[in-house]
Amino acid sequence: MSNSWKRFKLKRVLLTGGICLGLLFLCMVSPISAQTAAKSGIPSDLQTFVDPQGFSTTMRLLFTMASIAFIPFFVMSTTSFLRTVIVLSMVRTALATQQAPPNMIIVALSMFITIFVMTPTWNEINRVAVTPYREGKLNQMEMLEQGIKPIRLFMLKLTRDKDLALFIEFSQIQNPQNYENIPIFVIIPAFIISELKTAFQIGFLLFIPFVVIDLIISNILLSLGMFMLSPAIISLPFKILLFVLTDGWNLIIRGLLISFQ
């Protein structure tokens, strides 16, 4: 591995880590309770934090522009994109078609499926937060509080109670009486690991028919004495044929859409 490639990987890791830390910082600032803030000296809400007394106009502008860089990471972590892109990647791995379809196509398809799945949630955000803010009925902080609610509901609907209880336990917060009292910085990681588990469960089911084809081809080649011939070369056309005959893409996308309902 060349030094330039190592430097590239190091820069990518540092950039990813910076984005993660920045998003975590934004998520933790807003839900801090007034009682905790009074004891620790931390501002009780984001509006106090970015108040002109704490930051100049230039600093607030830089803070806002820096926050824009977190939007793609936020979208990938709090929407259906995570499950979709993992499942589609596992389909390619199960088929053993190397780079077909390429990563760009998988990401593009995942993004458009995410837009399709999240459109009702985004419409609700527009109705309860963006439109009243444009009409002057809400200020910025009220818009943020109202806009985060539909996203919270979407994530909570797909988050397992076990994963949610894990982060509530280690966050050292009092047991919430209802889901509305759970901070957003607790919901997001619980949602992510729930999506990862669901995606791997779907991937396991996708691998089963292709593994069966590999086993059949391997036994046939073994019985014919073709020890030097790779079973993957022979099984690949049969995998593609099975996938095409069963209209695999339609079935997979249908299953993904049903899983989000």
pLDDT digits 0-9 by tens, 145-171: 888 888 888 888 888 888 888 888 887
> What CA–CA distance (Å, rounded) separates 3 from 87?
33
| Model pLDDT for residues 179-231, shown as the tens digit of each residue | 777 888 888 889 999 999 999 999 899 889 888 888 888 888 888 777 777 77
| Model pLDDT for residues 48-66, shown as the tens digit of each residue | 444 444 445 666 667 767 7
Q: Which two tokens stand for residue 152?
A: 């919270």
Contacts of 46 (CB under 8 A, 6+ apart): 29, 30, 141, 144
| Model pLDDT for residues 125-151, shown as the tens digit of each residue | 888 888 887 887 877 777 788 888 888
Question: Is the link from the previous residue into 183 a cis peptide, with omega within 30 of 0?
Answer: no
* pLDDT above 90 as % of the chain: 7
| Model pLDDT for residues 220-251, shown as the tens digit of each residue | 888 877 777 777 788 888 888 888 888 888 88
Q: Is the pLDDT of residue 14 over 60?
A: no
- 112: nearest Cα among 84, 148, 149, 154: 84
φ/ψ region of 178 (left if φ > 0, alpha if ψ in -120 to 50, else beta) reads: beta
Kindly list the distances between the CA atom of residue 101 and the CA atoms of 13, 188, 203, in Å, as whole numbers in the listed order: 26, 30, 17
Q: What is the mean pLDDT of residues 90-106?
A: 85
> What CA–CA distance (Å, rounded) separates 131 from 162?
36
Contacts of 230 (CB under 8 A, 6+ apart): none
Task: Give this prediction's pTM.
Answer: 0.69
Q: What is the CA radius of gyration of the chain?
A: 24
Report DSSP state, residue 130. Answer: I
- Pairwise pLDDT comparison (9 vs 97), residue with the higher score: 97
The pLDDT score that the predictor gives to residue 60 is 64
Alpha helices in 128-226 (DSSP H): 131-134, 140-158, 161-171, 184-224
